[in-house]
Structure 1
Amino acid sequence: MIDLCKRFGHRTGLCPEPAPSGNDAPDRKAWQTVAPGRVEPWSGEIRIGSPGVGRIGDVLVTVNDTVFAGEALIRLDDDEVRNRHAKAELQYSLRKRARPSAQRRNAERRKHEDAVADAERAVVDERAAVDRAAAAKRAGTGSDDDLATARKNLSNAREQLRQRQAELASYEDDAPATTPTELDQQVAMARLDLRGAEAALDNLTIRAPIAGTVLQVNVRAGELASPSAPQPLVIIGDVSKLRIRAEIDERDYGAIKVGHRVIVRSPAFRDREVKGTVSSIAPIIGAGRIGARGQRNLTDVNVAEALIDLAEPGPLAVGMKVDVYFSREAAQR
């Protein structure tokens, strides 16, 4: 790789800038090779897109906000989905009130099915309460305690739902087969329609899949969201720790091992070195992406991705390009 850089310079975008000379440069005899890298969150960058086409109703977070797993980030507007949910909710309520008292052989089944349905409704209600508490906290009208209480209630509701589902499954395993009445069948169908409508309604709220920090927000209220959009709506990541994604020249693939010690340097902080360790190496060779600009050419090289765990991030920031020096001493052990 060094010969390639000497011959073609650094036009490929895959060769790191020449190491500083003098006291600022690591000892060339001490490192096996050098590779370009990029700083990323410990979780990687979680790029969140839209599940469907819709207009952005509310953007609930801003850059640098800390979010919890499941927190609402964006709400889409779709009157058709909301109307369908309201209709399904009304139909279910009417069908349930219209059915007569169950006969003894069907009473136990009805009791378990209704318990599951009630538990499902409780989860929906408690999730909405969490969304309201989170929004109030961000607006300054709510507290951490209110949000913690709402999240605890949601967790309890989900546990109750699991228990009711387990009780229904146990009853169905042991109970003799019975034929439900026509009205019971209508209630069951209305219940299925309501579940589908609730799922569609919940899809209008785009939630954080993990706990982390909002790194980027690429939309505003009123804009159109689409699954085919080139940019994600939001990027989040766990920045409690950082790591480096480096690209090793395929000719150095056999020399670099998991556990290899490295030194990371950034052009922005030439007087700082950050120590790290190789935690994984991809089992596939492919085109480099970190330094690529435009179409590849004959001077481009194929690379393998390696993840570097940092002892401490120092001044590095997510997205920053760095040079990763792989210790020759570690390679010889």
Structure 2
Amino acid sequence: MKRFAILAILALAGIAAALYAVFDTGRSTDRPGIGLTAPPPPFAHFVAGAGLTETGRGNVAVGTNLPGIAREVLVRAGEGVNAGAPLFRIDDRDASSRLAVADAAVQQAQAGLAAPQHRLGYLQRLNSRGQDLVARDMVTAAQDDVSAATAAVAAARAMQVQARTTVDRLLVRAPVAGKVLQVNVRPGQYVDNAAGGPPPVLLGNDERIYLRVNIDESDAWRVRPGARAMAAVRGNPGQRIPLHFEYIEPYVTPRASLTGQSTERTDLRTLQVVYSFPRDGQRVYLGQQMDAYIQTAPTPSPAAGRNGPG
């Protein structure tokens, strides 16, 4: 009897705990958030588009001339580099050994040229002292030997240049001056341009930031070259940045960036309009998305087009 009473009490306690948990989770524990009031659009008539920041000449994806294992990385992200500055080195031990062999081959060929040159000079000196002291065939043969040895030296030097070029190509240098935006290579990592993925090093110049704005093809006709524009930083809509018009790319391209919304058209094509603005301490980074507003003329109403002369 006592055991039955204990089991009954435990069962009632479990039911009470379950009911409390159900009612407690049903309560709203979210605190009311502070709403951010979006500022009004900067223009009365405009088209809007998402823009992606980049450098003026475009970001330079630096690859490797020859695939191989990265031996050392000579730069870090955020560093400024001059054109020709070394960025990273591919393992060059095999290429360096081939260069040493080519250097030795040049020395050997040069040594092989000395004997024919001496013989030819000797025969020419004999001929200069009197006529018919040396047969003409001997002089001709000596000249041929010198020509062959000279060609051997030239071939050896060409192989030397080729070997040295291979060693130089394994040291990847900056093609332009700029800032190192990304370093995606580490010592010991296999580097191959054909493998895909991010480039080993990404270069750019962020003194002036360019904004590539994607405008839906249905609004492309409303955009005019030189139109005023304003950009807003996502997450901080109060930060508005005036934009300077650069150019319009005349070729409409498929939309590359998607938001993932169910109502979004994936077959949409966009017109790319490029604006720019100086950094001037702006907390904007390359590769960042911004919202752009481009001023347009008022859109004529459909009724205005139908009300023609009868």
Tell me the TM-score normalised to structure 2 length: 0.69
What residue number does 2:183 align with? 217
Q: Quick one: which of 213, 221, 226 aligns to 1:259?
A: 226
1:231 equivalent in alignment to 2:231: no
Deviates more, 1:48-57 or 1:60-69: 48-57
* Counterpart selection for 2:95 from 69, 81, 91: 81
1:25 pairs with 2:40: yes
For residues 284 and 249 of structure 1, do their structure 2 counterparts lie closer, same or farther at Cα, with a shift above 3 Å needed? same
Alignment of 1:265-304 (within 5 A): 265-291=232-258, 298=265, 300-304=267-271
Counting only pairs closer than 5 Å after superposition, residues 134-283 of structure 1 correspond to structure 2 as 181-229=147-195, 230-283=197-250
- Residue type of the partner of 1:72? P
* CA–CA separation in structure 1 for the residues paired with 2:210 and 2:285: 10
Q: 1:9-48 maps to which residues of 2 (within 5 A)?
A: 24-27=39-42, 29=44, 31-48=45-62
Match status 1:69 vs 2:83: yes
Identity %: 24
Judge conservation of contact 2:207–2:278 (CA < 8 Å) in 1.
no
Question: Match of 2:106?
Answer: 92
Q: Secondary structure at the match of 1:198?
A: helix
Task: Identify the range of structure 1 (323-332 vs 64-73) with the bigger mean alpha-carbon deviation.
Answer: 323-332
Q: Does 1:319 align with 2:287?
A: yes
Give the AA of the match of 2:73: V
Change (3 A) 1:91 1:255: same
Compute the displacement of 1:184 (Å). Answer: 0.8
How many residues are aligned here?
A: 238
Q: What is the alpha-carbon distance in structure 1 between the residues aligned to residue 74 and residue 210 of structure 2?
A: 28
Of 52, 66, 76, 1:52 maps to 66
Shift of 1:329: 5.5
Relative distance call for 1:219 and 1:27 in structure 2 (3 A) is: closer
Q: Residues of 2 paired with 1:319 and 1:330: CA distance?
A: 32
| Residue identity matched to 1:36 | A
Match for 1:221: what amino acid? P
Structure 1 SS opposite 2:270: strand
Unaligned runs of 5+ in 1: 1-19, 105-177
Task: Please report how far the alpha carbon of residue 256 of structure 1 lies from its aligned counterpart in structure 2 after TM superposition.
Answer: 1.8
Higher relative contact order (CA 8 A, sep 6+): 1
- Residue 328 of structure 1 aligns with an amino acid whose one-letter code is T
Deviation digits for residues 74-111 of structure 1 (CA, Å, limit 9, x no counterpart) = 0010332121111111111221243235989xxxxxxx
Q: How far does residue 311 in structure 1 lie from its aligned partner after superposition?
A: 4.9
Distance of 1:240 and 1:61 partners within structure 2:
19
Alignment correspondent of 1:162: none
The CA RMSD measured in Å over matched residues stands at 3.0
Instruction: Tell me, yes or no, if the aligned pair for 1:55 and 1:78 is still in contact at 8 Å.
Output: no
Cα pair 2:254 2:270 within 8 Å, conserved: yes
Between the aligned partners of 1:203 and 1:191, the Cα distance in structure 2 is: 18
Equivalent-residue separation in structure 2 for 1:41 and 1:274 (angstroms)? 17
**Pair 1:196–1:257, CA change in 2 (3 A):** farther
Change (3 A) 1:261 1:27: closer
Query: Match of 1:228, SS?
Result: helix
- Asked if the contact 1:245/1:307 (under 8 Å) is kept, the reply is yes
**Map of 1:160 onto structure 2:** none
Contact conserved, 1:218 with 1:234, CA < 8 A, in 2?
yes
Q: TM-score when scaled to structure 1?
A: 0.64
